[in-house]
Amino acid sequence: MRELRPWLGLLQRHRRQLAVGLVLMAATLMAGLGLLALSGWFITATAITALAWAAGLNASLNLYAPGGGIRFFALARTASRYFERLVNHDVVLRLLADIRVELFRKLLRAEAYSAKRLGSAAFLNRLVSDVDTLDNLYLRQIAPPLVALAGSLGAAGLIAVFAPALSLVVLAVLVPWLGVVTLGMAWWTRRHGAAEMEAAERLRSHALTELEGMAELSAAGLLSRDQNDLLGEDNAQRYRQMQQETSAISGQALNTLVIHLLVAALLLFASQAWQAGQISGAVMVLIPLVIMALSEGFLPLPRAFMRLGATEAAAERLNTQDGSQPDSSGQPSEVGLPENPTLTWSHIRVARGAPVVFEDFSLSVSPGERLVITGASGSGKSTLASLAARLTSPDDGQVMVNGNDGALFSLSEWRERISLLTQDAHLFNESVAANLRVGDADASESRLWRVLEAVDLAPLVASLDCGLETPVGEGGGQLSGGEGRRLALARVLLRSAPIVILDEPFTGLDEATAERVWKGIQHWLSGCSVVLMLHDSMPFIEADRVISLTAGRAM
């Protein structure tokens, strides 16, 4: 239950609406209870009165108050249920939107690559389905037992007016039973619930893996085999679901059994009380009917609490996101970054979590310089690049601008000045234009065309049916590797930062295209300091300086 605490805290923000919802829920149950109880009482009372008349006795019965009461309860029940549902669902959905945005914000603050480390398949599950699972928490697992408890107490109170002894019987049965169908049910299904959720995540990640490796698998003729594995896992998973469902169904059947046995017992007890002259005949009918109406409040409980384990597991996984490192350098600096910055890696040491170890590494790029850093894959080029963009921080040493430690500046300010094309730059599953505008949100169409011209993509985009609005597919899948790379490059250029770091910009391009692109983008790079990370220097690139990097050491 501890896992749920942060989320219960979130509920407080919408306290008033939740209270209204709860009151409406209780009102609905009470109206139903009142309707059946009053009707039963009314009919029996009329029958007794009729008998009295038949016996020539002078009995009188006020017909209009109960009749009006019955009509009132009937309407009240309908209205309160409708508004209760609207109020509750709206507030819960609002709450869930809050949760999603909050989570996403947290993830963005987390150190670079930690998001990747968690694995996107697991992640997708976390965001969409865990948050939806938390939907259960209030609407299914907090409010209904409270309402059932309130209903039980209300029913017991009503009965206590006529027969205090019987109301004790009602409490003695209903309160423990409420514990059984809620906490007992949750305890019984918890183990399976957590296992089921884990398996569901594995299943989804397997499906995602298969989709991503579709080409390799189908080429190797292994697709059907993998699909059989997937179906096997799915069968096992559904078997687990069935076990859970069976528990819930049995719980519901037991629920019916207990409540209606109580109703029967109350009728018998009440009849004895009536025979003993303690209560009137009409009240004798009223007592069991109250409990019968109450059964509605108990009905949804077993199934809701079957899911408590899953809700807890979801909350727990969402909680682990809370552990993310906060953005410690969010404040804008007083100094302000200069327009023509000199970028310096100063006495850098990187030892943990990187494929390459740097020890006391220093390098400087002056304004307007063209610096080429060459090196084999794994020589540390990408590490230098992510240090410069402050995606990662060094274990020791500093990344500086004009002699000022980078940590003094806010990240957004920093990244306005330093633009980086990473090796795995992501293309969003949106249009060509939308992808470009990630680099410059306000870019005009003609500016987009100019930058596409620079990277030699303009003829291709022009030939597409929808032009700039053509979707690029998931991860740019509708484009060839080289085309996607050039689109990502164009996006970096639109940023117009004074320092541009390009990590392997020509991947997937033949030499002739690479040369055309390099020539084409010169205009966009004029006046900028450019750091090119390449595995080999290319003959057409005129660099001011070429540095060869081997295992974190400059040659």
| Of the candidate residues 1, 175, 250, 364, the single one contacting another protein (CB under 8 A) | 250
| Of the candidate residues 335, 536, 544, 545, the single one contacting another protein (CB under 8 A) | 536
Which region, judged by CB under 8 A, interacts with another protein, from 12-20, 82-90, 141-149, 401-409? 82-90
User: Is the distance from CB of 168 to CB of 290 less than 8 angstroms?
Assistant: no
Instruction: Tell me if 65 contacts another protein by CB under 8 A.
Output: no
Of residues 372 through 391, those in contact with another protein by CB under 8 A are: 374-379, 382, 389, 391
- The DSSP bridge pattern shows strands 529-534 and 358-365 to be unpaired
Q: In this structure, what token pair is assigned to residue 201?
A: 């995540």
User: Is the distance from CB of 344 to CB of 400 less than 8 angstroms?
Assistant: yes
Between CA 49 and CA 56 the distance in angstroms is: 10
Cα torsion for 352, 319, 410, 448, to the nearest 10°?
Answer: 100
Q: Residue 184 or 475: which CB sits closer to another protein?
A: 475
Between CA 47 and CA 521 the distance in angstroms is: 97
Instruction: Tell me if 491 contacts another protein by CB under 8 A.
Output: yes
Q: In this structure, what token pair is assigned to residue 235?
A: 């069968």
Which region, judged by CB under 8 A, interacts with another protein, from 17-25, 33-41, 149-157, 538-546? 33-41
Of residues 282 through 321, those in contact with another protein by CB under 8 A are: 284-285, 288-289
CA angle 292, 297, 302 (to 5 degrees): 110
Query: Which residues share a beta bridge with 32?
Result: none
Instruction: Supply the minimum distance, in Å, between the C-beta of residue 1 and another protein.
Output: 26
Q: Residue 288 or 520: which CB sits closer to another protein?
A: 288
User: Is the distance from CB of 486 to CB of 517 less than 8 angstroms?
Assistant: yes
CA angle 238, 128, 475 (to 5 degrees): 105
Instruction: Tell me if 161 contacts another protein by CB under 8 A.
Output: no
Which region, judged by CB under 8 A, interacts with another protein, from 1-9, 176-184, 253-261, 317-325? 253-261
Q: Residue 19 or 108: which CB sits closer to another protein?
A: 108
Instruction: Supply the minimum distance, in Å, between the C-beta of residue 56 and another protein.
Output: 14
Q: Residue 153 or 203: which CB sits closer to another protein?
A: 203
Q: How many CA atoms lie within 13 A of 23 on its CB side?
A: 6
Instruction: Supply the minimum distance, in Å, between the C-beta of residue 232 and another protein.
Output: 11
Cα torsion for 52, 56, 59, 63, to the nearest 10°?
Answer: 70
Between CA 415 and CA 408 the distance in angstroms is: 13
Closest C-alpha to 460, from 523, 513, 507, 522: 513
Q: Residue 5 or 68: which CB sits closer to another protein?
A: 68
Instruction: Tell me if 329 contacts another protein by CB under 8 A.
Output: no
| Of the candidate residues 21, 40, 193, 302, the single one contacting another protein (CB under 8 A) | 40
| Of the candidate residues 5, 104, 322, 551, the single one contacting another protein (CB under 8 A) | 104
Which region, judged by CB under 8 A, interacts with another protein, from 14-22, 119-127, 305-313, 442-450? 119-127
Q: In this structure, what token pair is assigned to residue 457?
A: 């993509």
What ranges make up the beta strands (E) of 214-332? none
| Of the candidate residues 1, 8, 19, 47, the single one contacting another protein (CB under 8 A) | 47
Instruction: Tell me if 351 contacts another protein by CB under 8 A.
Output: no
What single-letter amino acid sits at 26? A
Instruction: Tell me if 411 contacts another protein by CB under 8 A.
Output: yes
Instruction: Tell me if 540 contacts another protein by CB under 8 A.
Output: no
Q: Residue 347 or 415: which CB sits closer to another protein?
A: 415
Q: What is the DSSP string of 434-471?
A: HHHTTT-TT--HHHHHHHHHHTT-HHHHHHSTTGGG-B
| Of the candidate residues 11, 23, 96, 171, the single one contacting another protein (CB under 8 A) | 96
> 3-state secondary structure string, 360-398?
EEEEEECCCCEEEEECCCCCCHHHHHHHHCCCCCCCEEE
Instruction: Tell me if 331 contacts another protein by CB under 8 A.
Output: no
Instruction: Tell me if 50 contacts another protein by CB under 8 A.
Output: yes
Which region, judged by CB under 8 A, interacts with another protein, from 151-159, 264-272, 311-319, 518-526? 264-272
What single-letter amino acid sits at 454? A
Of residues 430 through 489, those in contact with another protein by CB under 8 A are: 438-439, 441, 459-460, 463-465, 470-471, 473-475, 477-478, 480-483
Instruction: Supply the minimum distance, in Å, between the C-beta of residue 298 and another protein.
Output: 13
Residue 419 CB burial class (10 angstroms; 0-12, 13-18, ≥19): buried
Of residues 181 through 200, those in contact with another protein by CB under 8 A are: 200
Instruction: Tell me if 545 contacts another protein by CB under 8 A.
Output: no
Instruction: Tell me if 127 contacts another protein by CB under 8 A.
Output: yes
Instruction: Tell me if 322 contacts another protein by CB under 8 A.
Output: no
Tell me, what DSSP letter sits at residue 335?
Answer: S
Q: In this structure, what token pair is assigned to residue 162?
A: 């006529």
Instruction: Tell me if 230 contacts another protein by CB under 8 A.
Output: yes
**If you count them, how many residues does the chain have?**
555
